[in-house]
Chains A and B, each alone.
Chain A
Amino acid sequence: MTIAFGNPDRPNSYIGKTVPRPNAPRLVQGRGRFVDDITLPRMAHVAFVRSPYAHARIGGIDAAAAKAVKGVLRVFTGADIAEVCTPWVAVLAHLKGLKSPPQHALATDRATWVGEPVAAVLATTRAAAEEAASLVEVAYEALPVVTDMMSALDETTPVIHPDLGDNLAFRRLHDEGDVEGAFAGAHAVVSARFRTARHTGVTLEPRSILVDWNPAEGQLVAWHATQAPHMMQTVLAKHLALPESRVRVICGDVGGSYGIKVHVYPDEVATAAIAKIMGRPVKFVADRLESFTTDIHARDHIVDARLAVDEAGRILAFDVDDWTAIGPYSVYPRTSAIEGNQVVNLCGGPYDFANYRARTTVVFQNKTPTCQYRAVGHPIAVAITEGLVDMAAAELGMDPVEIRRRNLYADDAYPATSPAKMRFEGLSHHASLDKLVALMDYDALRADQAAARKRGVHRGIGIASFIELTNPSPFMYGIGGARISAQDGCTVRMDPDGSVVALSGVTEQGQGTEAMLAQIVAEGVGVSPSEVRVVTGDTQVTPYGGGTWASRGAGIGGEAALQAARALRDSILEVAAAMLQSEPGRLDIRAGAVVDPDTGEERLSLAELGRIVYFRGDTLPKGLPRELVQTRHFITSEYPFAFTNGVQASYLEVDVETGVVTLLKHWCVEDCGRIVNPQLVDEQIRGGIVQGLGGALYEEIHYDEEGQLLNGSMADYLVPMAAETPDMIVGHVETPTKESLLGAKGAGEAGTAGAPAAVMNAINDALRPLGAQVTEMPFTPERILRALGAIED
């Protein structure tokens, strides 16, 4: 089967076009249905008592005052929940050596970070539950706290989990080629310590779950703001000792995810346990402080790295020593070793070089657990790589574009395998860089920069090439033993009126999944997208799938939808051929009707075909297959991941008196393979860029030495708002993957992957004439003034 996607005049040409999102009108009218919008009869609300200590032994819990609050139904301790809910251990077999202790939904004997839930109060109103939670008295005995990453493994540092022997969660080393030899013989070596701050996702909709256990039916239903309903079905069933078939997870509208809502959170599992104990619906919606102290954090890395180049600027070797601290537990079930693992897999990713050493060290500490957050590890690896490449260019007196042209994998070099053993099917680094240079009018920008400098205005240009990991196979989680599906399925059926329903295992988090699926199914069957209704996010209804993570929705879910739609088309044409005394190959479906493919003349509408099949099946030949429903599942098999590539540029101005950075403009050219919906892809890129800009300039979770989180509100943890954000020019190169008919790779994380490095390089380009350099994110006015020597204490 071939579809001439390149021909815009082909019939049913919806793939590749901007088609409106079917769910957008509902959301602009305030008709969304988020978890907190749902109210069920007899619904109760749970509020959690959380540890104010980073590390403490839990003594007695006195709930007498809490129970006296009007409306309180019951108070639960860790021991109460442990009676119905088993603990979990977040390790994966393929991450060799990764260790983590058993974690309970509510802490039983020890609290290990500020915010860990230690008790729960159930009440008829949220206000009563919150008031009572504040009255629960827990006797804590403070224990020694581990907060510093770099000394976590020192012999004098207390071990958080004595059973594990030390504070090392995971370590991995890549060592390829002759790194020491390459550095010894290098023309120039540059090095730096890079730091990326602790971030969190700040989803506008806090984590939310509503669970109803119906003992009469023996079924647990969870309305959950999640990215992975089937994974949650498995998790809830396993730890609440229910058959998987008796757990239904429904994921309606979700108010922002970005990786935050793909993990298992102890308070959410506790909510399900409480619903099971009480036999009535229980709702938990995190408040903003709870979001900051218990949503996963990410990106807390310190990296010493160096780069060796020859006289011509050719990269000889990278040497990377990455450290990250993940809190007291590896997060279930994806684990908290993935981010460090990604960093060492991705450094140097765009470049053709031979010698590579990269080690990640992942340690425990008493802060909020970290785990996968949009563009997992990429912003760190790209900052290290691109920061060093720019430093080498400056050392050699070479233009930053030129040094990249000398080192990027040639566009005809594929398939290729990187020194970190990442396999690339087909990338377009040079075509993307050429397009970027043209889009930004690089020479004119350099002239503007020089003119500004003469006026005493310090502007900088930063470039960042990157690769992005998308369309994951079971090599990401499945081979490690996690029941996290890399395959995804889609069922497509035609109803009697000729309209089409598509049920998919991938989910809608606002990125436009349902629009993407509608236009793929529309093209695959031969109907208008408005004739396709898409259903996602219900484990009882959709085919089994992985959901939304690692930029897999279009590449995996979209391909399953295309194959199912094409199969339905074949089924329809077989029936139509019998009705019209023709051959399926001599008929086509266009705009909801069976037509003559040569003339386009309508032979039979799908509504008429539906009428005959469903109500007058007696008129069809006996034995004619008439199932107007098809299901297909898709999984990648040739490559562990479909890598994409791209390049970003930032143009900005640094006020050297105040240290304030003003973003003037931002560009991104990326290659996500086949573009299903240009507008949706562009907006994924833009939103991702701004999330990266936040990390570069504003976002940083602060703790004190006692492990107290210091900025747990949106007034204190700064995120990009409209006034600070630049306009962004987005361009594309399309190198479809050959693994699928559709050819789509992922686009959801490219913006976040490259933006921080582009900003860092632009700031350093502006500061270089002043002899200053910054490598510690976020680049706050204070850090810039320190680099300039304006602040010295």
Chain B
Amino acid sequence: MTEIVRDRIDVALTVNGEPVEARVPAGQHLIDFLRLELGLTGAHASCEHGVCGACTIRVDGDAVRGCLMLAAQADGAEVWTVEGLTDTGEIADLQAAFVARNALQCGFCTPGMLVAAQELLARGGAPSRGEIREHLSGNYCRCTGYEAIVDAVEAVAMARAGAAAQEGGGGA
């Protein structure tokens, strides 16, 4: 380990809506900071080089890989994990759809998968199954074969689009 990695850096950020101040090793990945220092064990470390998506979290509005970002880089950032997205209810419909469709088996990929799916859904409209598959193609799931996940995301997209159309219709 080089000296620069051993250095410690002060960071201030918000995590799941709460202010966090910490002194972090310069070489610590954001996913390790969240899991080890904050006890947010929902997102997981798995491939550790940005391929599997198990560590996917939301940073300043984007779904990012917690294993490819250093905690030190999150200074000033707004970070959301599955725990926070659960508390606010933002993805409650998506979580319910995953349970109803059995779009998870072991559940290890699920927190990352939900954050990635919500990023697509937040764009609005009703993405095609191909678009859903493409958007989730960086999130590895060995258990389900993906079809149930695509089904669940598609169902939520259609429900949200329907609700949005109704709201729009009511206002006209």
- Tell me whether B46 is interfacial, beta carbon within 8 Å: yes
Is A791 an interface residue, CB under 8 A from the partner? no
Contact between A713 and B42, CB atoms less than 8 A apart:
no
Whether the pair A202, B142 counts as a contact (CB closer than 8 A) is: yes
Q: Which of A37, A287, A686, A688 contacts B48 (CB 8 A)?
A: A287
Determine whether the beta carbon of B109 is less than 8 Å from that of A204.
Answer: yes
- On chain A, which size bracket covers the interface? 35 or more
Cβ contacts under 8 Å, A728 to chain B: 145, 147
B152 to chain A, nearest CB (A): 10
**Least Cβ distance of B2 to chain A in Å?**
10
Q: Is the pair A714, B110 in contact by a Cβ cutoff of 8 Å? A: no
How many Å lie between the Cα of A779 and that of B25 in the bound state? 45
Are B143 and A687 within 8 A (Cβ)? yes
Whether A29 contacts B134 by the Cβ 8 Å rule is no
- Residue in B137, B139, B141 whose Cβ sees the most chain A Cβ within 10 Å: B141
Complex partner residue of A204 from B42, B82, B129, B140, CB under 8 angstroms: B140
If A28-B107, A512-B105, A725-B133 touch, whether A690 touches B145 (CB-CB below 8 Å) is: yes
Asked whether A725 and B145 contact (CB < 8 A) given A27-B104, A509-B106, A683-B105, the answer is: yes
Q: Are B41 and A37 in contact (CB under 8 A)?
A: yes
On whether the beta carbons of A686 and B147 are closer than 8 Å, the reply is: yes
Q: Find out whether the CB atom of A715 lies under 8 angstroms from the CB atom of B51.
A: yes
Cβ of B104 and Cβ of A510 under 8 Å apart? yes
Verify B51–A28 contact, CB threshold 8 A: no
Contact of A723 among B109, B111, B134, B144 (CB under 8 A): B134
Identify B145's interface contact among A26, A32, A203, A686, CB under 8 A: A686
Residue pair A30, B51 in contact (C-beta under 8 Å): no
The B interface, classified by DSSP as helix, strand, loop or mixed, is loop
- B73 contacts partner chain A, Cβ-Cβ < 8 Å: no
CB nearest neighbor in B for A253: B107
Is A10 interfacial (CB 8 A cutoff)? no
Question: Bound state CA distance, A21 and B143, in angstroms?
Answer: 15
Contact A510 B105 (CB under 8 A): yes
Contact B143 A510 (CB under 8 A): yes
Render B100-117 as a binary contact track against A, CB cut-off 8 A, 1 for contact.
Answer: 101011111111001000
Are A715 and B99 CB-contacts (below 8 A) given A32-B107, A510-B107, A722-B133?
no
Q: Does A511 contact B (CB under 8 A)?
A: yes
Contacts A28-B114, A690-B146, A714-B52 given: A205-B46 contact, CB under 8 Å? yes
- A285-329 vs B, CB cutoff 8 Å, 1 = contact: the mask equals 001100000000000000000000000000000000000000000
Shortest beta-carbon distance from B68 to chain A in Å: 12
A440–chain B nearest beta-carbon distance, Å: 16
Q: Is A256 an interface residue (CB 8 A)?
A: yes
Contact, CB under 8 Å: A32 / B108: yes
- Residues of A near B147 (CB, < 8 A) are 686, 725, 727-728
Any B CB within 8 A of the CB of A25: yes
Complexed CA–CA distance, A583 and B137 (Å)? 61
- Chain A's closest residue to B46 (CB) is A204
Residues of B within 8 A of A713 (CB): 47, 49, 51
A721 at the interface (CB under 8 A from B): yes
Supposing A30-B86, A722-B150 touch, asked if A201 and B142 sit within 8 A by C-beta, the answer is yes
Q: Is the CB of B108 within 8 A of A255?
A: yes
- Contact present for A28 and B49 (CB under 8 Å): no
Q: Is residue B69 within 8 Å, beta carbon to beta carbon, of the partner chain?
A: no
User: A residues within 8 A CB of B21?
Assistant: none
Contacts of A680 in B (CB 8 A): 102
Q: Which of A722-738 contact B (CB under 8 A)?
A: 722-723, 725, 727-728
Roughly how many angstroms separate A691 CA and B105 CA in the complex, as a whole number? 14
CB of B151, distance to nearest CB on chain A (Å): 9
Chain B nearest Cβ from A670, distance in angstroms = 14
Say yes or no for B59: interface residue by CB 8 A criterion.
no
Which of B35, B100, B106, B149 is in CB contact (< 8 Å) with A255? Answer: B106
14 pairs, A vs B, C-beta closer than 8 Å: A21-B99, A25-B95, A27-B107, A30-B83, A204-B141, A256-B105, A288-B46, A687-B144, A689-B145, A714-B49, A721-B139, A722-B137, A722-B139, A727-B129
The 4 closest A-B pairs by CB, nearest first: A30-B42, A27-B107, A510-B106, A255-B108
